[in-house]
């Protein structure tokens, strides 16, 4: 249960008469309702409020839930003094000069109490008295706040003023629970709204005055616990969001450190695989299929970040892979959907960009994004595809396992080597110098098999 759901449940219990016990000595809502009518009649006679049209009796079909016997279902307009807002002349509204504070809608609603509006009007129209509850009658319909001062209200608000010493905090909590009911009754095309008639006709449960005060006291006693629950819940939510990603990173770290599967002597060593790779590279150089590279520096002890199994070997990325950026292509030649005219996937710095007419690679490769916020991200391309200049194609010489290279390159977090600019970039000259641990080929395949068994479980946790 979310904190908001817990709070809503408590308020729902409160307005159903189930949060505190009923006490016969506190009288009945019928008695309070009579006092309210007498008070409203005095206000009418004093010219402080207008005489209202009689509202229809409440039918059984309108009652949404049961309430205690000492309570009473009443129409909102019969229990309070309501005033629909009316916006003053626009020329009278300003943020400078004197006048009455003006509010049009929810803009300055606080958590419970209305915040100060910078707008003032020299020609106030409809007034919300101090300690009135303000109800949004235009989107967002149903939101409520208490005003601690007299203000002018525009068309987006309705003022609901308690009478006969009714508790304004109780009215606030009560109306909070009716937000969804008001929303369901809202109509409109340009904007949704509810009318004064809808507000006044809304049935509400009315408890005795003393019980209202005890309900408010109980709610405000529980609120600090809800706040503490919200903090704990937020921490748990944050943990739950991070956990699948953290678990995935941990699994990849175990893999790259040689702790995910056991080592088997019969599978050979990383040194033997390294020599095979060098022979294959030399053959490709002699056939002019790849260019001869500058020798990379020897690996020093200070560079080695963690221990690896004895049969593995620390190498530089450029020693075991050939890295080559793709070719530039204009955005106008990249399409959102594939078709007979553009059937090939196009990979850029952040992954798939769309579909293109031609391809410039055919095979199974890991790709490193080298430009953009996600530079260093790893993708896998298979078959015929187009690599742009922002995607680095990782050639494995047919000796290493493609998926192994993708997982290990991902675990290296290559983004950390990007230049810190407005448009981060990752130079191939930096990537080739990064260290990567090299296991035997058979172990690479077993590592991939284990990762593809575990990582989908991490995804399910999301």
Residue 78 has pLDDT above 70, yes or no: yes
Task: Output the pLDDT for position 456.
Answer: 85
Neighbours of 48 (CB within 10 A): 11
Q: Which residues contact 34 (CB under 8 A, 6 or more apart)?
A: none
Can you give the pLDDT at residue 124?
Answer: 94
Tell me phi and psi for residue 438, to 5 degrees. -110, 110
* Domain range summary for the chain, segments of one domain joined by +: 3-228, 264-446
What are the phi and psi torsion angles at 159 (to 5°)?
-90, 135
- Architecture of the 3-228 domain: Alpha-Beta Complex (3.90)
Give me the chain's average pLDDT, please: 92
pLDDT of 422 higher than 80: no
What would the pLDDT profile of 171-181 be if each residue is shown by its tens digit? Answer: 999 999 999 99
Give the per-residue pLDDT at 268.
94
Pairing of strands 344-348, 378-387: parallel
- Give the residue-averaged pLDDT of 295-304: 91
Is the pLDDT assigned to residue 372 strictly greater than 80?
no
From residue 47, give the alpha-carbon distance in Å to each of 43, 44, 50, 153: 6, 5, 7, 20
- Looking at residue 383, its pLDDT comes to 94
- The answer on pLDDT for 263 being more than 90 is yes
Cβ neighbours of residue 158 under 8 Å, at least 6 residues apart? Answer: 82, 83, 84, 85, 134, 135, 137, 196, 199
Q: What pLDDT score does 57 carry?
A: 95
- Among residues of the chain, what percentage have pLDDT more than 70? 99
Cα–Cα dist 308/378, whole Å? 23
pLDDT of residue 433: 93
Burial state string for 113-145 with b = 16 or more CB within 10 A and e = fewer than 16: ebeeeebbbeebbbebeebbbbbbbbbebbbbb
* Tokens encoding 307: 């221990």
pLDDT score, position 12: 96
Using 50, 70 and 90 to split pLDDT, how confident is the model at 242? confident
Question: Is residue 134 within 8 Å of 145, Cβ to Cβ?
Answer: yes
Indicate the class that CATH gives domain 264-446.
alpha beta
- What's the pLDDT at 400? 87
Q: What is the token pair recorded at 258?
A: 């040689």
Res 462 pLDDT > 70: no
pLDDT at residue number 98:
87
pLDDT tens, position by position, 88-131: 998 999 998 789 999 999 999 999 999 999 999 999 999 999 99
At 456, which helix (H) or strand (E)? helix 441-461
Looking at residue 237, its pLDDT comes to 84
CA 346, 349, 355 angle in degrees (round to 5)? Answer: 15
Say what the pLDDT of residue 392 is: 94
Percent of the chain residues topping a pLDDT of 90: 76
CA angle 430, 436, 440 (to 5 degrees): 145
State how far the Cα of 216 lies from the Cα of 14, in Å rounded to an integer: 9
Q: Is 410 helix (H, G, I), strand (E, B) or coil?
A: helix
Domain 3-228 and domain 264-446 have a common topology:
yes
Q: How large is the average pLDDT for residues 161-166?
A: 93
Q: Say how far apart CA 392 and CA 388 lie, in whole Å.
A: 8
Q: For 1-57, how does the pLDDT look when each residue is reduced to its tens digit (9 = 90+)?
A: 898 899 999 999 999 999 999 999 999 999 999 999 999 999 998 988 888 889 999
pTM equals: 0.64
Residue 286 above 70 pLDDT? yes
Answer whether residue 426 shows pLDDT above 90: no
Q: Is the pLDDT of residue 162 over 90?
A: yes
Summarize pLDDT for 130-142 with one digit per residue, the tens.
999 999 999 899 9
Residue whose C-alpha is closest to residue 15's, from 57, 90, 82, 72: 72
Dihedral, CA atoms, 46, 49, 54, 58, nearest 10 degrees? -120
pLDDT for 273: 93
What's the pLDDT score for residue 240?
78
Are 215 and 169 contacting, i.e. CB atoms less than 8 angstroms apart?
Answer: no
Measured CA distances, 77 to 47, 109, 177, 187, 208 (Å): 18, 23, 17, 20, 18
Any idea which residue has 């030649």 for tokens?
333
């Amino acid at each position: 249960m979310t904190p908001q759901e817990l709070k809503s449940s408590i308020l729902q219990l409160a307005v159903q008469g189930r949060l505190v016990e009923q006490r016969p000595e506190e009288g009945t809502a019928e008695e309070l309702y009579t006092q309210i009518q007498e008070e409203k009649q005095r206000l009418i006679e004093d010219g402080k409020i207008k005489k209202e049209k009689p509202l229809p009796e409440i039918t059984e079909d309108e009652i949404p839930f049961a309430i205690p016997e000492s309570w009473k279902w009443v129409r909102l307009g019969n229990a309070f003094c309501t005033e629909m807002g009316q916006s003053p002349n626009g020329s009278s509204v300003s943020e400078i000069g004197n006048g009455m504070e003006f509010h049009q809608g929810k803009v300055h609603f606080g958590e419970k109490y209305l915040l100060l509006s910078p707008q003032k009007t020299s020609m106030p129209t409809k007034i919300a008295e101090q300690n009135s509850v303000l109800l949004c009658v235009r989107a967002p319909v149903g939101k409520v706040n208490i005003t601690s001062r007299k203000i002018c209200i525009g068309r987006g608000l309705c003022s609901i003023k308690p009478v006969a010493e009714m508790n304004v905090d109780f009215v606030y909590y009560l109306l909070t629970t009716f937000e969804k009911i008001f929303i369901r009754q809202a109509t409109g095309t340009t904007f949704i709204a509810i009318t004064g008639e809808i507000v006044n006709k809304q049935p509400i449960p009315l408890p005795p005055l003393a019980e209202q005060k005890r309900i408010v006291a109980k709610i405000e006693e529980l609120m600090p616990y809800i706040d503490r629950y919200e903090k704990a819940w937020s921490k748990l939510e944050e943990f739950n969001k991070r956990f699948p990603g953290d678990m995935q990173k941990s699994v990849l770290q175990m893999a790259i450190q040689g702790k995910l599967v056991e080592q088997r002597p019969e599978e050979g060593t990383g040194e033997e695989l390294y020599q095979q790779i060098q022979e294959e590279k030399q053959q490709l150089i002699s056939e002019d299929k790849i260019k001869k590279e500058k020798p990379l520096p020897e690996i020093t002890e200070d560079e080695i970040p963690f221990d690896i199994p004895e049969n593995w070997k620390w190498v530089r990325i450029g020693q075991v892979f050939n890295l080559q950026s793709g070719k530039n292509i204009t955005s106008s030649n990249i399409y959102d959907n594939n078709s007979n005219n553009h059937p090939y996937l196009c990979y850029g710095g952040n992954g798939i960009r769309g579909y293109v007419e031609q391809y410039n690679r055919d095979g199974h490769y890991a790709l490193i994004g080298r430009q953009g916020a996600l530079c260093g991200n790893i993708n896998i391309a298979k078959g015929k595809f187009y690599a742009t200049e922002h995607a680095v194609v990782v050639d494995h010489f047919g000796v290493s396992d493609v998926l192994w290279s993708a997982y290990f390159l991902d675990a290296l977090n290559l983004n950390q080597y990007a230049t810190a600019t407005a448009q981060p970039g990752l130079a191939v000259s930096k990537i080739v110098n990064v260290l990567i641990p090299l296991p035997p080929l058979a172990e690479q395949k077993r590592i991939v098999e284990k990762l593809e068994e575990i990582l989908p479980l991490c995804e399910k946790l999301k």
